Chain A
């Protein structure tokens, strides 16, 4: 039985970078594990490469914390192994991801104010 998700999304912050990337990936739609790994690698230009071990350790935590759930229906486009699980972001997970993104934004704003970033739109 997963524990009840905490009401306050900021209670889980800061997220680890890998965890944030998984949430970002699922914010774009339901995905199975390998799709998450690939999406993250592509989006970060290969900078973040999740291994299967790391990913499913995170998935277990995110499921337990109520940030994601196993999707009840497979996307219509799914053409792969029937037994694969798809994961989707919960409302609470979305709020946590937003809160983390805002946290990053504040950091970026500070960096910009201190002239650590040259051009706007870098973040």
Chain B
């Protein structure tokens, strides 16, 4: 290579590096820099190859650093200029900032929720953690697995770890009085299956998970902070659980809630001691749920196929008692988040729509603002400003708006997030971890920036393509070129996006109205429900009547108490017992509860036929039952139910009950409405329940007698605690928390979207009127009536609305299916909701166009003709 050629290559490399600088910098200094570097190279060459290498080595990094600084300087200058320009029109700047704040704030809130609830992976390598389901012909997809199946699952090479778990509750003799704790009884494998190390101390070993081992307990973060004030020295201390001293050996981290991701777990105790058929710390070995961690590289389907292929499980009786069970594996995060993902994706889509609508409004406002600066832009082009430079300047204005909007939005999000979390269903996983953390803020800011800049490019590109001659002559009036097409297009987009959102909101609100138990079949106001669990196994028979009678008698003496009833299960608590009812050849599964005679009165449940339970319905007397209308209709479709015999599934067989009454059907649902038949059995004739509820009917004005109930229970049985005390109304409200949350969220977003889109439409129609003032004046002078002109303007708005509504309906058809898991009593494509929302949107847009259109009527032809 000749020296000359080498020099040319060096020049070219240096010139290429200079391209990293902003064009302006390059224009100002590029030639000098290249010339200087050529001289430097000539000098360095005198010192040989090493001298040359040293020069390059020193030059390149500094060049890169200077380029970065030059860019930052440039941007800073653009932003300062942009801020000055924006400050010149405070009204439209404030409007743009508020709209962006609404869009950004809504995004921050929803990302915060989605990040905590859906995206945060609760387990290490969560894709490999699954729960085991067994299917038999009579009992498909049962999560309850007989204990005898565990060794077979543990022996399978498809699994790295296997764990069985059941829920229990124990009474802890705490220093400040007994307390009820929710615990999980889990085999030692659970910590390997879930793969989460403890925050403090350790988890238990297989040796501690055997009958006879010294009892140990691992605390949840919640229990550690709430009950032990986050004392780091807790490991090693002893808790007296149901009278058994158990050593605290560890504390789990805050985000760990166990396999089922419950919010209220207090701790984990070994399940092993209960597995041989006994009970241990409130846990019995009947049908635990089983979780597995798949071996590396094994898929869910492969693992299930491997287990089924051995045929060993099929040979054993399944939970239903049948043989031939087949295993199915369900990824645990899918199971825990199953019905949340779709609606949450819809929520993300909804806030995305809202941000888009806000950005479209901002872009539209910006086009209007740029229209008044057309001559300024034209002058700058005439003076030699490059188009890229002007685009950058306009974009800098958008970035300043973005910054201000983001600050406002994040402040708004901070203020609303707490209220929103309070609205969320209590069972929503990790709802207490919802916060505007760094990840949420980063995503929110990035999404908003991308949205603002991409929408901002539109006015930037259009405004900087000025028609020099025309713009300089026009003296800055009239629209930015292309805005006549762009702004209507933006409005169509906005109407479409807000209608899609509105339809989603409509479906959620309708679901809420269906689920909201306006007529649940019982009276909720003034009723207080207290749940009590007596220690011991649910399988162990025990007569609880003396205890129940003593508590009832105490409670009845309280001021304000009208009546005290008892029931094993109360509607809408989420706790149910389902039993098969058989009459002749018909068998139905029914919600069942054992109640005292005054239960129907205390809850205001109507008896449609027959009699309530009476003092004669005691053990020894004929077994009786009251069924609801639904059971009566299904079991005896052809005649009255009273006087018939129904066989009720009982432990180990069936017992025959004489139907003495038919009650009105009451609504019971936790996550879903149950339309199951219902059956009531006298409490006296089935008094061995361990878990039951006192239903206290109060004077409407009387306060919740919480401490009085606790005192009465403790007096009747020393050391006994009350699990929970709630007004029945609160229980009913909680049962619809999910749909109420959905209705609020989508409703709020829908309303915001419609407001923003309407403002956008009104602005565009108003701008038309202003643009055509002269034309309108001419036509008025020529005799066009005000009515005709108003209609023409109005028609312009409606054409946009119809286009937007058409696209919006199409969007909703595609989008609402995400909500399907949360909808109830209404389908995702409900025609009524679609029509009503589309109609509402058209009406709103008609009004939004009419207001500016009316200005036409008021125009004075003389004035309008002078308008230009």
Q: Which of B533-558 contact A (CB under 8 A)?
A: none
9 closest A-B pairs by CB: A53-B63, A53-B66, A34-B36, A57-B66, A51-B62, A53-B62, A56-B29, A33-B36, A34-B39
Residues on the A chain within 8 Å of B33, using CB = 33, 52-53, 56
A54 interface residue (CB < 8 Å to B): yes
Interface residues of A (CB under 8 A from B): 32-34, 37-38, 49, 51-57, 59-60, 80-81, 83-85
Residues on the A chain within 8 Å of B40, using CB = 34, 37, 52
Q: Mark B385-409, 1 if CB is under 8 A from A, else 0.
A: 0000000000000000000000000
Interface residues of B (CB under 8 A from A): 25, 28-29, 31-33, 35-37, 39-40, 43, 58-59, 62-67, 69-70, 73
Taking a contact as CB atoms under 8 Å apart, the answer to whether A84 and B62 are in contact is no
Residues on the B chain within 8 Å of A53, using CB = 33, 59, 62-67
Question: Mostly helix, strand, loop or mixed at chain B's interface?
Answer: helix
Beyond A53-B59, A80-B35, 15 additional pairs, beta carbon < 8 A:
A33-B29, A37-B36, A51-B58, A51-B62, A52-B33, A52-B59, A53-B64, A53-B65, A53-B67, A54-B66, A57-B70, A60-B73, A81-B35, A83-B35, A85-B32
- Tell me, in angstroms, the Cα distance from A89 to B31 when the chains sit together: 21
Taking a contact as CB atoms under 8 Å apart, the answer to whether A51 and B32 are in contact is no
Q: How close is A74's CB to chain B, nearest CB, in angstroms?
A: 13
Residues on the B chain within 8 Å of A38, using CB = 43
Taking a contact as CB atoms under 8 Å apart, the answer to whether B59 and A51 are in contact is yes
- Tell me, in angstroms, the Cα distance from A51 to B33 when the chains sit together: 10
Taking a contact as CB atoms under 8 Å apart, the answer to whether B58 and A49 are in contact is yes
Q: 9 A-B pairs, CB-CB below 8 angstroms?
A: A33-B29, A34-B35, A34-B36, A34-B39, A52-B37, A53-B66, A54-B66, A60-B25, A83-B35
Pick from B31, B62, B70: contact of A60, CB below 8 A: B70
Q: Determine which residue in B29, B36, B67, B73 has the highest number of CB atoms from chain A within 10 A of its CB, and name it.
A: B36
Q: Determine which residue in A52, A55, A57, A85 has the highest number of CB atoms from chain B within 10 A of its CB, and name it.
A: A52
Q: How close is B76's CB to chain A, nearest CB, in angstroms?
A: 12
Given contacts A52-B59, A53-B62, A53-B65, contact A60 B29 (CB under 8 A): yes
Given contacts A60-B28, A60-B70, contact A84 B58 (CB under 8 A): no
Residues on the B chain within 8 Å of A52, using CB = 33, 36-37, 40, 59, 63
Taking a contact as CB atoms under 8 Å apart, the answer to whether B63 and A84 are in contact is no
Can you name the residue of chain A whose Cβ is closest to the Cβ of B34?
A52
- Tell me, in angstroms, the Cα distance from A55 to B69 when the chains sit together: 13
Residues on the B chain within 8 Å of A56, using CB = 25, 29, 32-33, 66
- Tell me, in angstroms, the Cα distance from A97 to B543 when the chains sit together: 100
Q: How close is A60's CB to chain B, nearest CB, in angstroms?
A: 7
Number of A-B contacts (CB under 8 A): 59
- Tell me, in angstroms, the Cα distance from A52 to B33 when the chains sit together: 6
- Tell me, in angstroms, the Cα distance from A88 to B501 when the chains sit together: 64
Can you name the residue of chain A whose Cβ is closest to the Cβ of B43?
A38
Q: How close is A12's CB to chain B, nearest CB, in angstroms?
A: 16
Can you name the residue of chain A whose Cβ is closest to the Cβ of B73?
A60
Residues on the A chain within 8 Å of B39, using CB = 34
Residues on the A chain within 8 Å of B70, using CB = 57, 60
- Tell me, in angstroms, the Cα distance from A101 to B32 when the chains sit together: 29
Can you name the residue of chain A whose Cβ is closest to the Cβ of B42?
A34
Can you name the residue of chain B whose Cβ is closest to the Cβ of A61?
B73
Can you name the residue of chain A whose Cβ is closest to the Cβ of B39?
A34
Can you name the residue of chain B whose Cβ is closest to the Cβ of A85?
B32
Residues on the B chain within 8 Å of A55, using CB = 36
Q: How close is B376's CB to chain A, nearest CB, in angstroms?
A: 15
Residues on the B chain within 8 Å of A59, using CB = 29
Can you name the residue of chain A whose Cβ is closest to the Cβ of B55?
A51
Q: How close is B73's CB to chain A, nearest CB, in angstroms?
A: 8
Taking a contact as CB atoms under 8 Å apart, the answer to whether B59 and A33 are in contact is no
Q: How close is B487's CB to chain A, nearest CB, in angstroms?
A: 34
Given contacts A34-B40, A54-B66, contact A83 B59 (CB under 8 A): no
Residues on the B chain within 8 Å of A60, using CB = 25, 28-29, 70, 73
Residues on the A chain within 8 Å of B43, using CB = 38
- Tell me, in angstroms, the Cα distance from A73 to B144 when the chains sit together: 94
Q: How close is A11's CB to chain B, nearest CB, in angstroms?
A: 19
Q: Determine which residue in A37, A56, A83 has the highest number of CB atoms from chain B within 10 A of its CB, and name it.
A: A56
Q: How close is B83's CB to chain A, nearest CB, in angstroms?
A: 15
Taking a contact as CB atoms under 8 Å apart, the answer to whether B32 and A84 are in contact is yes
Residues on the A chain within 8 Å of B36, using CB = 32-34, 37, 52, 55
- Tell me, in angstroms, the Cα distance from A56 to B25 when the chains sit together: 9
Taking a contact as CB atoms under 8 Å apart, the answer to whether B35 and A51 are in contact is no
- Tell me, in angstroms, the Cα distance from A80 to B35 when the chains sit together: 10
Residues on the A chain within 8 Å of B25, using CB = 56, 60
Can you name the residue of chain B whose Cβ is closest to the Cβ of A83?
B31
Q: How close is A18's CB to chain B, nearest CB, in angstroms?
A: 11
Taking a contact as CB atoms under 8 Å apart, the answer to whether A51 and B28 are in contact is no
Can you name the residue of chain B whose Cβ is closest to the Cβ of A57?
B66
- Tell me, in angstroms, the Cα distance from A34 to B43 when the chains sit together: 11
Q: How close is A61's CB to chain B, nearest CB, in angstroms?
A: 8
Residues on the A chain within 8 Å of B37, using CB = 52
- Tell me, in angstroms, the Cα distance from A51 to B66 when the chains sit together: 10
Q: How close is B26's CB to chain A, nearest CB, in angstroms?
A: 10
Q: Determine which residue in B62, B65, B67 has the highest number of CB atoms from chain A within 10 A of its CB, and name it.
A: B62
Q: How close is B39's CB to chain A, nearest CB, in angstroms?
A: 5
- Tell me, in angstroms, the Cα distance from A81 to B32 when the chains sit together: 9
- Tell me, in angstroms, the Cα distance from A60 to B32 when the chains sit together: 13
Q: How close is A22's CB to chain B, nearest CB, in angstroms?
A: 13
Given contacts A37-B36, A60-B25, A60-B70, contact A51 B63 (CB under 8 A): yes
- Tell me, in angstroms, the Cα distance from A55 to B66 when the chains sit together: 9
Can you name the residue of chain B whose Cβ is closest to the Cβ of A49?
B58
Pick from B32, B58, B67: contact of A33, CB below 8 A: B32
Q: How close is B483's CB to chain A, nearest CB, in angstroms?
A: 30
- Tell me, in angstroms, the Cα distance from A70 to B72 when the chains sit together: 23
Q: How close is B10's CB to chain A, nearest CB, in angstroms?
A: 13
Given contacts A37-B40, A60-B25, A60-B70, contact A54 B32 (CB under 8 A): no
Q: Determine which residue in A32, A49, A51, A55 has the highest number of CB atoms from chain B within 10 A of its CB, and name it.
A: A51
Residues on the B chain within 8 Å of A80, using CB = 35
Can you name the residue of chain B whose Cβ is closest to the Cβ of A54?
B62
Residues on the A chain within 8 Å of B73, using CB = 60
- Tell me, in angstroms, the Cα distance from A49 to B69 when the chains sit together: 20
Taking a contact as CB atoms under 8 Å apart, the answer to whether B69 and A57 are in contact is yes
Residues on the B chain within 8 Å of A83, using CB = 31-32, 35
- Tell me, in angstroms, the Cα distance from A54 to B65 when the chains sit together: 8
Q: How close is B40's CB to chain A, nearest CB, in angstroms?
A: 7
Q: Determine which residue in B29, B62, B65, B69 has the highest number of CB atoms from chain A within 10 A of its CB, and name it.
A: B29
Q: How close is B75's CB to chain A, nearest CB, in angstroms?
A: 14
Residues on the B chain within 8 Å of A33, using CB = 29, 32-33, 35-36
Q: Determine which residue in B65, B66, B67, B70 has the highest number of CB atoms from chain A within 10 A of its CB, and name it.
A: B66
Residues on the A chain within 8 Å of B62, using CB = 51, 53-54
Q: How close is A47's CB to chain B, nearest CB, in angstroms?
A: 14
Q: How close is B393's CB to chain A, nearest CB, in angstroms?
A: 14
- Tell me, in angstroms, the Cα distance from A37 to B43 when the chains sit together: 12
Residues on the A chain within 8 Å of B28, using CB = 60
- Tell me, in angstroms, the Cα distance from A95 to B67 when the chains sit together: 29
Residues on the A chain within 8 Å of B66, using CB = 53-54, 56-57
- Tell me, in angstroms, the Cα distance from A49 to B25 when the chains sit together: 22
- Tell me, in angstroms, the Cα distance from A29 to B39 when the chains sit together: 20
Q: How close is A88's CB to chain B, nearest CB, in angstroms?
A: 15
- Tell me, in angstroms, the Cα distance from A84 to B407 when the chains sit together: 47
Q: Determine which residue in B32, B62, B67, B70 has the highest number of CB atoms from chain A within 10 A of its CB, and name it.
A: B32
- Tell me, in angstroms, the Cα distance from A54 to B33 when the chains sit together: 10
Taking a contact as CB atoms under 8 Å apart, the answer to whether A32 and B32 are in contact is yes
Can you name the residue of chain B whose Cβ is closest to the Cβ of A56?
B29
- Tell me, in angstroms, the Cα distance from A18 to B25 when the chains sit together: 20
